[in-house]
């Protein structure tokens, strides 16, 4: 009830009037029956503007931290996400992540729409990262078509750390449904799961125009964090006087960002 109240009567009309989101490919969303919307993930705003432009209800897995916060802000956040019916996702992997996929499968079996971000986390730099195979498992288990989705401009609208999105027009492109029924019965074949996931990510890349990186986004975030930490340490070392006889200061080495090895542009 809270989902529809916010979308139809409260936040929905206000957000549409202020941000004027545009959408292409809305005709690809089935008017009834199950479908998986597999989207790139640039910003927190993605989970707001995609449901806003699609007439049918979309349920997303949301990171479990949104449901376990403490204090007034944490409790209000948890209340909101439960109220709009989102599914908690434990991103530690294994059985914890499988629980959210099982919830998604139940929704699809009821004929609903389920949204998922195959990258698993927001892109750290606006590029498109390697997809995790949960979306392929879900597609094979449910038999539902997969709609590739590209969010456009939401990273500029609301980058990480920004509380409110700045006023600009975000876009949504929805691709034609992908049918993977040819792989029925092959849910345990990891090569098939990877092939399906890569096909989905290729379609998302075509829709979004993003550069593709053959690396998981979480790993890229960790490498960037290490590089920043290393650069900060070298910067502090450079401020110390050198022991050299001429009294010159040591020159700090430049802190490199994660290597481009393993990075490719698809298409």
Residue pLDDT, tens place only, 103-142: 899 999 999 999 999 999 999 999 999 999 999 999 999 9
Q: Looking at the predicted structure, is the pLDDT value of residue 149 above 50?
A: yes
Residue 239 banded pLDDT, cuts 50, 70, 90: low
Q: 162-185, pLDDT tens digit by residue?
A: 878 899 999 999 999 999 999 998
pTM of the model: 0.80
Average pLDDT over residues 199-228: 95
Where do the domains of the chain lie, and which CATH numbers do they carry?
2-212 (3.40.1130.10)
Q: Looking at the predicted structure, is the pLDDT value of residue 245 above 70?
A: no
- What is the distance between the alpha carbons of residues 179 and 223, in angstroms, rounded to a whole number? 35
- What is the distance between the alpha carbons of residues 6 and 57, in angstroms, rounded to a whole number? 12
Given this model, what pLDDT does residue 103 score?
A: 86
Average pLDDT over residues 54-63: 87
Residue 99 banded pLDDT, cuts 50, 70, 90: confident
**What is the average pLDDT value for the chain, to the nearest integer?**
84
Token digits of residue 211: 């550069």
Main-chain phi, psi angles of 37, to 5 degrees? -100, 110
Among the residue ranges 36-50, 165-179, 195-209, 234-248, the one predicted with the least confidence is: 234-248
Cβ-count burial 67-99 (b if 16+ within 10 Å, e if not): beeeeeeeeebbeebeebebbbbbeeeeeebeb
Average pLDDT over residues 75-79: 72
Q: Looking at the predicted structure, is the pLDDT value of residue 6 above 90?
A: no
């Amino acid at each position: 009830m809270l989902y529809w109240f916010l979308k139809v009567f409260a936040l929905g009309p206000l957000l549409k009037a202020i941000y004027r989101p545009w959408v292409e490919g809305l005709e690809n969303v089935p008017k009834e029956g199950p479908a998986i919307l597999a989207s790139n993930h640039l910003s927190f705003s993605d989970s707001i503007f995609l449901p806003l432009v699609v007439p049918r209800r979309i349920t997303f897995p949301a990171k479990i931290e949104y449901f376990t916060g403490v204090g007034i802000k944490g409790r209000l956040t948890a209340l909101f996400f439960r109220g709009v019916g989102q599914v908690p996702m434990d991103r530690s992997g294994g059985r914890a992540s499988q629980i959210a996929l099982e919830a998604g499968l139940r929704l699809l079996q009821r004929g609903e729409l389920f949204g998922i971000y195959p990258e698993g986390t927001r892109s750290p730099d606006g590029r498109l990262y390697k997809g995790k195979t949960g979306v392929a498992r879900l597609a094979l288990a449910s038999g539902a078509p997969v709609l590739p989705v590209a969010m456009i401009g939401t990273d500029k609208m609301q980058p990480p750390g920004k509380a409110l999105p700045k006023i600009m027009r975000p876009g949504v492109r929805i691709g034609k449904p992908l049918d993977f029924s040819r792989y029925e019965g092959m849910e345990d074949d990891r090569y098939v799961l990877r092939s399906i996931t890569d096909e989905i990510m290729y379609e998302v890349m075509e829709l979004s125009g993003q550069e593709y990186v053959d690396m998981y986004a979480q790993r890229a975030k960790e490498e960037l964090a290490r590089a920043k930490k290393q650069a900060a340490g070298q910067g502090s070392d450079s401020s110390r006087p050198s022991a050299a006889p001429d009294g010159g200061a040591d020159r700090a080495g430049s802190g490199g960002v994660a290597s481009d090895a393993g990075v490719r542009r698809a298409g």
